[in-house]
Structure 1
Amino acid sequence: MNVLVIGGSGLVGSNIVELGLDNGIEVEATYNNTETEKASIKLDKTDSDQTASIIERINPDVIIDTAAYHAVDDCESKRDLAWSVNADGTRNVAAAANAIDAHLIYLSTDYVFPGNPEDAPYSESDPVNPPNYYAETKYAGEQASKITDAVTVLRPSVIYGLANDNFVTWALGELKAGNELTIVEDQISAPTYAPDLAYACLRVAENGITGVYHATGPDSVSRYEFTTILADVYGYNPELITPISTEEFGQEAPRPTDSTLNATRLYREIDYEFRGPEEAFEAMQGG
């Protein structure tokens, strides 16, 4: 199996590349802004000609598209950029994948759901209703990915790990420095450990699994609870963390109140359950 990772220098992409190579899988990876030793193919997926040319040349069996414009608040003001990457860029990848009969795995988001607490946890059959422009573009990416005959849509949430900058690496840095953190307590989800998501991507690829699957951790927690668990596992002072409401915190893009997804269907398909925050943090601490 030959795998091409789009966005191989990012948090999820780098985990997929590392895990794939460690398991004897032939993996190549692209980057857009940050070249790494294992992501050395320059690709801007908003360039349809370049995307088609590179994918045709590499001719992979499987393409895993992790590349996205993730700045949720900035997406509200930079709408053209968000759409060009998350919707049009994904369409470019999907069209190129279909041209060579490759299996496309596209990473979406839990934010495609409105996040009403009475409706959570959401299953794959629940109707979507994106609450912000970032989510709109990612759902448009889901639709665009279906150009490909063989496609899998995975919906993760609050992806974290140590391979790249993310909420957890930021929080660890602040806690280590003894700085006070103000974290929202009324945004709830089931965070996704990046190595688990990487494993799921490769299992989906190996087994030719297609369709839409939720790909989150098993535990539903608020951002505040998530951060206090992190502090506890790492031995930092949890009193440095102060809860705040979303209204008080102030964010340009509306956020779901509870976007918890039910990922048990994916767990069954790949015969593997993702780790919750405490277990994942302990794994991170162990290196």
Structure 2
Amino acid sequence: MKVLVTGYTGQLGYDVVQEGIKRGISMVGIGREDLDITNEAEVCQYVQRVNPDVIIHCAAYTAVDKAEDDKETCWNVNVLGTKFITTVAKKVNAKLMYISTDYVFDGKGREPFREFDKPDPLGYYGLTKYEGEKIVRALLEEHFIIRISWVFGINGHNFIKTMLRLSETRNELNVVGDQYGSPTYTFDLARLLIDMIQTEKYGVYHASNEGFCTWAEFASEIFQQANKDVRVNAISTEEYPTRAIRPKNSRMSKQKLNDYGFEPLPKWQDALKHYLNELAQEVK
């Protein structure tokens, strides 16, 4: 099996490639310096040359605030890029896995969103990711669409690294306490995705570590586990205005993972512990 992974320089793409290599799978990881996914001819030529059995499409424009102003770039990467990747996947008869997001939902209510609930994005980033989902569904009958949330991994920037950096100079922080979701450790997620592509259990899935929390609760747990003496004050979304509206409810049901026999990811607190150990090893 040969697997092509776009977005290799990001958190998830990097860990997916590492996981595949560990299992003896032929992995080809590419970043934007290797391939411009917004160039149709280039995408077609490159993918046909690699001729993969599976494409895991992690590459995306994910700067949610910038997306509100740089709509053209966001559309080109998330919509056109996905269209070109999906089209050539069909041409070379490769399985396609498209990585989507909790931002496709409107964030209303308190119940976890189910895999079949109708998306209704609040911002432009979420809109483009949903458009990508629709393209994948329209062009390929057999596909995986994986919605993820609150991602953290060893390769790249994330909330945990930001909190740890701030803890070096601050002993008190205001963190949003009315947005709920599930942190997702790319090391754990990568194992699930590699398991999944070796099956024909196609469809839409929600994948994140088990359990829900707010950003403020997440921050408190980070400081507690990292032995940092930082006080966290939970504030409202309105007290921390951002260019793009954040969904207050990013809880997602993972019922389909269970129904199809996939192993649930560990609890987010356990994932955090593993990740902090991984960060400590990097420093040594």
Q: Extract unaligned runs of 5+ from structure 1.
A: 34-41
Q: CA deviation at 1:286?
A: 2.6
State the alpha-carbon separation in 2 of the partners of residues 69 and 179 from structure 1.
33
State the alpha-carbon separation in 2 of the partners of residues 129 and 210 from structure 1.
23
Q: Is the 8 A contact 1:103 1:148 kept in 2?
A: no
CA RMSD, Structure 1 to Structure 2 (Å) = 1.4
- Relative to structure 1, the CA distance from residue 149 to residue 101 in structure 2 (aligned partners, 3 Å threshold; closer, same or farther) is farther
* TM-score (norm. length: structure 2): 0.93
Q: Is the 8 A contact 2:3 2:53 kept in 1?
A: yes
The residue matched to 2:68 in structure 1 has which SS?
helix
**Which residue of structure 1 lines up, in the alignment, with residue 88 of structure 2?**
96
1:86 aligns with 2:96: no
Of the candidates 194, 202, 209, which is equivalent to residue 186 of structure 2? Answer: 194
Q: CA deviation at 1:150?
A: 2.3
Q: Is the 8 A contact 1:114 1:130 kept in 2?
A: yes
1:249 aligns with 2:234: no
* TM-score (norm. length: structure 1): 0.92
Aligned residue pairs, count: 277
Q: How does 1:25-64 map to 2 (within 5 A)?
A: 25-33=25-33, 42-64=34-56
**Which residue of structure 2 lines up, in the alignment, with residue 262 of structure 1?**
253
**Which residue of structure 1 lines up, in the alignment, with residue 282 of structure 2?**
none
State the alpha-carbon separation in 1 of the partners of residues 240 and 28 from structure 2.
41
1:24 aligns with 2:24: yes
**Which residue of structure 1 lines up, in the alignment, with residue 222 of structure 2?**
230
Q: Deviations along 1:116-164, whole A, 9 cap, x unmatched? A: 124x201111111111111000000111122123210000001112222
**Which residue of structure 2 lines up, in the alignment, with residue 15 of structure 1?**
15
State the alpha-carbon separation in 1 of the partners of residues 49 and 172 from structure 2.
50
**Which residue of structure 2 lines up, in the alignment, with residue 204 of structure 1?**
196
Does 166-175 or 265-274 show the bigger shift? 265-274
Q: Extract unaligned runs of 5+ from structure 2.
A: 279-284
Q: CA deviation at 1:255?
A: 1.4
Letter in 2 for 1:44: D
Q: CA deviation at 1:271?
A: 2.9
**Which residue of structure 2 lines up, in the alignment, with residue 282 of structure 1?**
273
Over the matched positions of the two proteins, sequence identity in percent amounts to 33
Q: CA deviation at 1:249?
A: 0.6
Of the candidates 129, 132, 147, which is equivalent to residue 155 of structure 1? Answer: 147
State the alpha-carbon separation in 2 of the partners of residues 132 and 81 from structure 1.
15
State the alpha-carbon separation in 1 of the partners of residues 76 and 159 from structure 2.
25
